[in-house]
Structure 1
Amino acid sequence: MAQQEAMTLKRFQEKFHSDDACREHLFQIRWPNGFCCPKCEHDAFYFLESRKLYQCTRCKHQASVTAGTIMHKSHTPLLTWFWAIFLVAHDKRGVSAVFLSRELEISYPTAWLMLHKIRKAMGDRDAHYQLAGLVELDDAFFGAPTEGGKRGRGTEQTPVLAAVSLDRKGAPQYVKMKVIPNVKGKTLVDFARHHIKPGATISSDAYSSYRKLAEEGYDHQPLEFNVKENPDHLKWLHTMISNAKAFIGGTYHGLASKHLQSYLDEFCFRTNRRRFEGQLFNRLLTACVSTDTITYQKLTS
């Protein structure tokens, strides 16, 4: 993605002071070269003020700047949406629905739904990218264990596959995390197919399920995990997992396992863009504009 404009609080307040200003910005994102009818591609339109729609002068199709975005059919004002995206983008710890409800003076259910829609945009955006080069891969377990319960593989906690790509100097680049049903070979292979480019070198521990990766064309390099003999083995991956647990536990208390994936998506989205300080609002807004909405019913069913 091209370099984005840095968005400070002062700049945000100057630029987005009304719903109309937000709508004009969405218009520029959707039609950067001028209006183009989604139905017939004609370039002339009337703006229907009462309905906030753009009507094509040729075919009379009515287009909305929020169609195909997380804001589609929302009764929440556009300015409130922009503020929510700005607040999410500018607090690296993440924001809770309680915080958003209080700061934007909206109901808790509305704030909760908005945050889940924003996290969906984060996950959908990162789904376009695959890890390449040297990739560290391991499973982890999230959530508090039952009292006296087993830890690690075989636990009642939620299993998650985590992967991080490293650059030539061994520093972390991008991270992926996915809630999985189990740590069987088929599950690991499905994860690799979706999130790791063919031909990548995968470093993992020597757990038997990871052997399936070599059969899929990956250069698999298993290594027995021993802190004394191999202190740097999967070091960055374990750091990312630890950071993800701290991120989720520090802001989102009592997280239900059914929504864990959306919070992992938020953590990965932020981590993968950690070098773009000040630009996260525009990058997140772009993701929100490029993602279909999701309903409260679907999230709670």
Structure 2
Amino acid sequence: MAMIKVQFQSGLSLPTFLKRYGSEAQCEQALQHARWPDGFVCPRCQATAATQFIRCGHRYWQCVACRRQTSLRSGTLMEQSKLPLRTWLLAMYLLGQSKTNLSALELMRHLGVSYPAAWRMKHKLMQAMAEREAGRQLGGVVQLDDAYLGGERNGGKAGRGSENKRPFVIAVEISDDGRPRHAVIDPVPAFSKSALAQWSARRLQPGSDVYSDGLGAFRALENQHAHTLIQASGRAGCEQPNARWVNVVLSNLKRSLDGTYHAFKFCKYAHRYLAEAQWRFNRRFDLAALVPRLLVAAARITPWSERALRNVPVFPAEASC
């Protein structure tokens, strides 16, 4: 088998990471650049002139126009966190450079923090990934498939009727040289025509050339896209040229999740775990840039409290999950 250059890129080594982000001062400088690349901007009035002062060991910016005081962390994902920025940057490094996934339990052991702290960090960073990927659309040639996340519960329903399974859609955009470029992986309320029509309006560019299997709900795509059904089924269908890459990505995704997590609440948190895999896949061409890119995402999204992280709305059809 020929070497795939994307997989064998050097990425960001641990010694290089420690050289760039080994001190708290270096991490603060990196966060400041990620948040205000062109200089300070007041979050209230958007003015750029400010004075700086130190209070209780922390640097603050006071806007000259409206007098609002802003710390480096306020308004970011790290707001109100008592952990050093070095710990946050190391978590970003571990999540970004992992070839598969990293559980909160493993993150706890690497960082030397409590499990609740590791859980909050992981879910906050996954939320940042989800928000960065929320607006992505695929176009051109797109391979599409359906799948389920989760498994049977003891004493529960078996098969597709299991209350512990979350349906999701995976789509892979194919480049001109026949290789996968980007992917989107989204939970859906059900494999129905209405749900797939709403999903395609959000995720697929009009006029895309879509290939899928014979699932009846996929016929909802025919009004807006050129839709081709893969006639073969089973292993033969997976090996068809216009279905190969979506099945490869799906297989790698399932293997990664099954090998990392013993269990998690699929109905509540599936969108974050799938978004993590999607974010990393779509940025796989430059592994060395994943830490600064994730830091930018963490610096520019709305802060999330633990209550907000846990109070995730589920689809109406899955309110009993």
Asked if Structure 1 and Structure 2 have the same fold, meaning a TM-score greater than 0.5 normalized by the shorter chain, the answer is yes
1:246 aligns with 2:255: yes
Greater shift, 154-163 or 182-191, is seen at: 154-163
Instruction: Please say if residues 47 and 65 of structure 2, whose CA atoms lie closer than 8 Å, have aligned partners that are also in contact.
Output: no
Give 1:155 shift. 5.4
Aligned length: 294
The answer on whether the counterparts of 1:119 and 1:263 sit within 8 Å (CA) in structure 2 is: yes
Relative distance call for 1:113 and 1:214 in structure 2 (3 A) is same
State the Cα deviation string for residues 71-102 of structure 1 (Å, max 9, x = none): 12222221211111112112222222122212
Work out the CA distance in 2 between the residues paired with 1:64 and 1:261: 31
**Whole-angstrom distance in 1 between the partners of 2:20 and 2:67:** 31
Q: Does 1:117 align with 2:128?
A: no
Pair 1:184-2:199 in alignment: no
Q: Residues 40 and 59 of structure 1 are in contact (CA less than 8 Å); yes or no, is this contact kept in structure 2? A: no
Q: CA deviation at 1:228?
A: 4.2
> How far apart, in 2, do the equivalents of 1:203 and 1:195 lie?
15
Deviations 1:86-128 (A, max 9, x none): 1211222222212221222211000001000011111111123
* Between 134-143 and 286-295, the greater mean CA deviation after superposition: 286-295
Kindly indicate whether the alpha-carbon contact (under 8 Å) linking 2:145 and 2:171 is maintained by their aligned counterparts in 1: yes
| Alignment match, 2:181 | 173
Q: Secondary structure at the match of 1:45?
A: strand
Is 13-22 or 81-90 further displaced after alignment? 13-22
1:35-81, CA deviations, whole angstroms, 9 ceiling, x for partnerless residues? 23332514231223324321123432112322332112222221211
Question: Structure 1 37/139 Cα, relative in aligned 2: closer, same or farther at 3 Å?
Answer: same
Query: How far apart in 2 are the matches of 1:101 and 1:300?
Result: 19
Q: Give the drift of 1:23.
A: 1.7
Larger displacement relative to structure 2 (63-72 or 186-195): 63-72
Equivalent residue for 2:54?
A: 48
Rate the CA distance shift 1:103–1:243 in 2: closer, same or farther, 3 A: same
1:16 corresponds to which residue? 21
CA contact (8 A) 1:125 1:287 kept: yes
Q: Shift of the alpha carbon at 1:229?
A: 7.3
| Alpha-carbon separation, structure 2, partners of 1:178 and 1:74 | 29
Residues of 2 paired with 1:230 and 1:16: CA distance?
A: 44
* 1:3 alignment partner in structure 2: none
Alignment partner, residue 68 of structure 1: 75
Task: Answer yes or no: is 1:256 the counterpart of 2:265.
Answer: yes
1:234 aligns with 2:243: yes
CA RMSD of aligned residues (A): 2.2
**Which residue is 2:3 aligned to?**
none
| Matched letter for residue 44 of structure 1 | A
TM-score of the two chains, using structure 2 as the length reference: 0.84
Q: Displacement, 1:149?
A: 5.7
1:273 corresponds, among 259, 263, 283, to: 283
Tell me if the contact between 2:230 and 2:243 (Cα under 8 Å) persists in the aligned partners. Answer: no
CA apart distance, 1:208: 2.2
Cα displacement (A) at 1:230: 7.7
Greater shift, 224-233 or 30-39, is seen at 224-233
Task: Pick closer, same or farther for the CA change 1:208–1:229 going to 2, 3 Å.
Answer: closer
Give unpaired runs (5+ residues) of structure 2: 1-10, 312-321
Tell me how far apart the structure 1 counterparts of residues 22 and 14 of structure 2 sit (CA, whole Å). Answer: 12
Matched, 1:140 2:147: yes
Indicate the larger mover: 158-167 or 269-278.
269-278
2: distance between equivalents of 1:35 and 1:229? 55
Q: Distance in 2 between matches of 1:115 and 1:229?
A: 36
Q: Choose from 275, 282, 291 the match for 2:292.
A: 282
Counterpart-to-counterpart distance in 2, 1:21 and 1:169: 41
Kept in 1, the 8 Å contact 2:149–2:167? The answer is yes
